[in-house]
Amino acid sequence: MSFTTGSTSFGIFDADPDFASDADKVVDYTRKKLGDPIMYVHMSSSQIYMSFEEACLEFSAITNQYQAKSALSQFLGSSTSTLSGSENTYQARMLEFQKRMAGAYAEEAGVNGPHPLHSASIDIYSEQMKYDLQAILSGSGVIGAQRIQVKDIFHFSPMSAYRFFGTTSAVNYLHNQFNFESFTPETIFYLLPIWEDILRGMQFKTSNKVRRSNYSYELHNNELTLYPCPSQDNKLYFTYMLPPDPNVPASPSDASFHGVANLSNVPFGNIQYSNLNSLSKHWIRRFAFALAKEVEGHIRSKMANIPIPNGDLTLNGPELIADGRADQEMLRTELKMILDDLTYDKLAARDAEMAESLVQTFAKIPLGIYIGTFWPLVGLLSYLLHDNLFRMLTIVS
């Protein structure tokens, strides 16, 4: 029986020319390894084809598991499409996983976030200090029963003047124009990092709102209390957020929300047999033989003793089953150990160790010793000494 399309159980690799070419070779290899023609092999060619296909599927499944282990964070949120096509891709690092995880922290810090920030205003009245923001918004129909999260309340006195802080002053201009030396202006400037300037700007803003403002407020359970008590009717503005639902996307256009979520829907298909190298195909042949050995063992176990002249022939069915299962487990462990040592994080750690080792190796190289010519320097010194001696004699005479 020669291999044709439909000879395997699932037909996943039947259209692959390399798989079809190797299938009959695996049959011949398996039969001879099991003792044919001296020992009759009871398995049919279709059963060996099945073992060959299962070995390819096993190799593909284990390899895809470790591909996901290396780069699952890069696949998260991507389209599941037909759940095929990304099995042998080298994913670019986009940091989308880290950005999504940091979105909630950014939102709390008020520096962007995945959910919208709403603004609203309420009427405040003279001689009334307390206002229930939750009840006011619910009563006006702006929100439903959802509890709001108030983010900022614009209740502080306006600044009457703006102050600018810079590195220039009249004294410094004089210093530059008149080229004063050994002059100390009223300020001394240091080269400081940019973050210090930003920090000082935040200090000025907070100082203006806290130290210079006569206004204050307290917020408890979304009930606002204003200080001092308003003396006239006015409007008060504030920002708020609605509590996000982790099971609902922040935006209807967020396609990543319904994309890849875990290993179960990563768009991995079966790795095509023709794309495999010799190392992979050798593992598949060994695993296919281990599977076939187990099947042959089950068949021989059904007919443990065969009557022959002057006695019975005992078949080695149980031994084949035990050996086949042990070989399968050994091959799985072997492949997993290799792949576990080749995940992206292990490769990065190994490269770092190699770079560090190279630095230590190069550090052992002795530094070069500069060897120059001394005679030009001697000639120059002789010339200078001779010239000065001639001048001294002239002065004396």
Count of residues in the chain: 397
DSSP-assigned beta bridge partners for residue 238: 120, 153
Tens digit of pLDDT for each residue in 174-222? 555 555 544 454 455 556 788 888 888 888 878 777 776 678 899 999 9
**Residue boundaries of the structural domains of the chain:** 17-88+266-353, 120-150+215-243, 156-213
Q: Return phi, psi of residue 145, to 5°.
A: -85, 0
CA–centroid distance for 108 within its chain: 23
Nearest Cα neighbor of 341 from 160, 70, 103, 130 is 70
Q: Which tokens sit at 170?
A: 């009249």
Residues in the chain with pLDDT < 50?
161-165, 181-183, 185-186, 389-390, 392-397
Tens digit of pLDDT for each residue in 305-348? 666 677 666 778 899 999 999 999 999 999 999 999 999 999 99
CA angle 336, 337, 340 (to 5 degrees): 80
CA–CA distance, 54 with 9 (Å, rounded to integer): 9
Q: What pLDDT sits at residue 378?
A: 54
Contact 241, 119 (CB under 8 A): no
Nearest Cα neighbor of 241 from 105, 99, 113 is 113
Nearest Cα neighbor of 246 from 345, 100, 348 is 100
Contact 240, 120 (CB under 8 A): yes
Q: Return phi, psi of residue 97, to 5°.
A: -65, -45
CA–CA distance, 332 with 325 (Å, rounded to integer): 11
Task: Return the residue matching tokens 């005479």.
Answer: 397
Q: What pLDDT sits at residue 397?
A: 46
Q: What pLDDT sits at residue 182?
A: 45
